Amino acid sequence: MRDTLLNITGLTKAYGSVIANREVSFSVGVGEIHALLGENGAGKSTLVKTIYGLVKPDSGTMDMRGAPFAPTDPAAARKAGVGMVFQHFSLFDALTVAENIVLGMDNPPSPRAIAAEVRRVSDQYGLPLDPDQIVGDLSAGERQRVEIIRCLLQNPKLLIMDEPTSVLTPQEVEILFKTLRKLAAEGTSILYISHKLSEIAALCEAATILRMGQVVATCDPRTTAPREMAELMVGQVLQSPVRAARPEGAMALELTGLSAPASHRFGTALRDIRIAVRAGEVLGIGGVAGNGQDELVAVLSGETMSDNDAVLLDGKPVGRSPVNARRALGLLCAPEERLGHAAAPDMSLTENAAVTAITRKSLTRRGFVDWPQARAFASAVIAQFDVRTPGPQHTAASLSGGNLQKFVIGREIMQAPRVLVVNQPTWGVDAAAAAAIRQALLTLADEGAAVVVISQDLDELMEISDRFCALTEGRLSAPRAARGLTVDQIGMMLGGAHDMEVAHVAE
């Protein structure tokens, strides 16, 4: 039995009437890679924020190597040896790697010393990184390395990683795992937050599973079946998506050498994109976000215009047709950003139903919105897609991520599209809702629609797509049949320009 590093007993934290953590107890051993598993809203974030000194618990105690540990702010937590890599990076695009690292320090040494230190740590842990590079030019994986090295320079005893792989390619994940294993071997404990079970099984030695703020189980992920862990996490039996064999349908959506400029300064221009999607088919487009996904959706939805002949819907050119003209023809989209793009946060679900459904559901009478009918449509979406809300009069912002996503996707599916394009359909969505959304997309394809799924989640794409292609730096690879693709092959398709070599880990 190894020594205990961090011991948490009876931790409780409530926000108003919502209890985020109830009597949470678990411990992390020295040099242990410990997984914290749970759906969105299960209380993982609150728990790690408590450890990192961002949240003050209502009751309960923490011990660090036997001594009471109650950090009042992140600086105190860092002093006690806790480092954290957040899911969202806090880096300045315009500064170099070394400058970004210096910014986070209390008594910064000279830039030259830092550069040398960054090189040393990045060599030692196999995290290739040039301290003089501008952060704006780095890939998501490299940005994450900046954050990790920033933590490692403080010699942490406990490193908290919040959903670290959501932005990485498979090869980058492999590099990260090697680093983490090496750190653990040297005695650093790692608290690894994720809901990707395959990763946890590959990396972690112990797992604490949270559901609705409580610890529901502790297990060894190397010996526990992923399905069992998923069901513990969700608290119900999961349905795997099923799909019928489909006959080859007619050509529904074609992109013939589409190019479009970047939507903003740090966006990605689309270059010579060619797609052909048939009715009844699911085309999966993989790739790390920021490689042109937003631009591609905008060009398809009609928010960005392109050459008229570059986008063909049922053989008809629609590249210059406005948004609602495309909807009328049956080309529907569900963008990635739920709040603010797919839905207006402070408007009711009824009003949000009208955002896209006015044309196809004829929700207007001589220019006046037929609100009763819009409400009926919103209620139908809520009922059909099991959106948990007291009613359509509630605002979009009041829904959880998963429920709003079900509403947004459901709103498009219930308009019976010819072609549906969805971007990151299950991003930040709990496992049960994600399964429901995937099933709904498959059912839609079975009914004869063409479905284009853009996602970072490769497991998801492998599960539902018929053909797979990768979007990297605005270019789309040639599609391949999804069945039988190996992780390595996918990685090669995705890899593109990112440094592909698995870095040499110093022994």
Partner 1 sequence: MIVLEKREAPSRLWAWGSPVMAVLLTMVLGGLLFAALGQNSITVIRTIFLDPLFSEFAWFYRPQILIKGAPLVLIAIGLSFGFRAGVWNIGAEGQYIVGAICGAGVALALYPMDARWLIFPSMVLAGALGGWAWAMIPGLLRVRFGTNEILVSLMLVYVAEQLLAAMALGAMRNPEGMGFPGSRNLSQYPSAANLELISGSGMHWGVVAALITVIFAYVTLSRHVFGFHVRLAGQAPRAAKFAGVNPARMVLICMGLSGALAGAAGLFEVAGPAGQISIDFNVGYGFTAIIVAFLGRLHPIGIMAAGALMALTYIGGGIAQSSLGLPAAAINLLQGMLLFNLLAVDVFTTYRIRMLRKEVS
CB of 289 to partner 1, least distance (A): 16
CB of 450 to partner 1, least distance (A): 20
Nearest in space to 363 (alpha carbons), one of 382, 346, 378, 348: 378
CB of 329 to partner 1, least distance (A): 13
CB of 49 to partner 1, least distance (A): 17
Nearer to partner 1, 359 or 379 (CB): 359
CB of 39 to partner 1, least distance (A): 21
Query: How far, in Å, CA of 313 to CA of 330, rounded?
Result: 9
CA 117 from chain centre, in angstroms, equals: 32
Nearer to partner 1, 389 or 465 (CB): 389
Nearer to partner 1, 256 or 263 (CB): 263
Query: How far, in Å, CA of 32 to CA of 35, rounded?
Result: 10
Nearest in space to 176 (alpha carbons), one of 139, 124, 126: 126
DSSP conformational letter for 264:
S
CB of 321 to partner 1, least distance (A): 11
CB of 322 to partner 1, least distance (A): 6
CB of 341 to partner 1, least distance (A): 4
Q: Token digits for 342?
A: 């797919």
CB of 406 to partner 1, least distance (A): 18
Q: Where are the beta strands (DSSP E) in 346-466?
A: 364-365, 368-369, 419-423, 450-454
Residues 71 and 53: beta-carbon distance below 8 Å: yes
Query: How far, in Å, CA of 223 to CA of 244, rounded?
Result: 33
Nearer to partner 1, 212 or 355 (CB): 355
Nearer to partner 1, 30 or 358 (CB): 358
Nearer to partner 1, 29 or 53 (CB): 53
Residue 405 makes CB contacts below 8 A (sequence gap 6+) with 338, 425, 426, 427, 428, 429, 433, 437
Nearer to partner 1, 380 or 397 (CB): 397
Q: Token digits for 507?
A: 């022994």
Nearest in space to 377 (alpha carbons), one of 343, 394, 401, 353: 353
Query: How far, in Å, CA of 276 to CA of 273, rounded?
Result: 10
Nearer to partner 1, 255 or 343 (CB): 343
Residues 191 and 161: beta-carbon distance below 8 Å: yes
Nearer to partner 1, 303 or 309 (CB): 303
Q: Token digits for 92?
A: 């300045």
Nearer to partner 1, 70 or 219 (CB): 70
CB of 55 to partner 1, least distance (A): 13
CB of 14 to partner 1, least distance (A): 14
401 vs 14, 291, 338, 420, CA distance in Å? Answer: 20, 23, 8, 20
Nearest in space to 412 (alpha carbons), one of 332, 355, 329: 332
CB of 397 to partner 1, least distance (A): 8
In the block, tokens 């969202």 appear at: 88
Nearer to partner 1, 203 or 333 (CB): 333
Q: DSSP for 221-260, please give it.
A: TTTS-HHHHHHHHHTSPPPPP---------EEEEEEEEEE
- Using CB under 8 A as the criterion, which residues of the chain lie in contact with partner 1 when the complex forms? 16, 56, 70, 301-303, 322-324, 327, 333, 335, 337, 339-347, 351, 354-356, 358-359, 364, 367-369, 371, 395, 397-398
Nearest in space to 47 (alpha carbons), one of 90, 8, 4: 8
Nearer to partner 1, 33 or 332 (CB): 332
Nearest in space to 255 (alpha carbons), one of 241, 237, 276, 239: 276
Task: Give phi and psi for 393, each to the nearest 5.
Answer: -80, -10
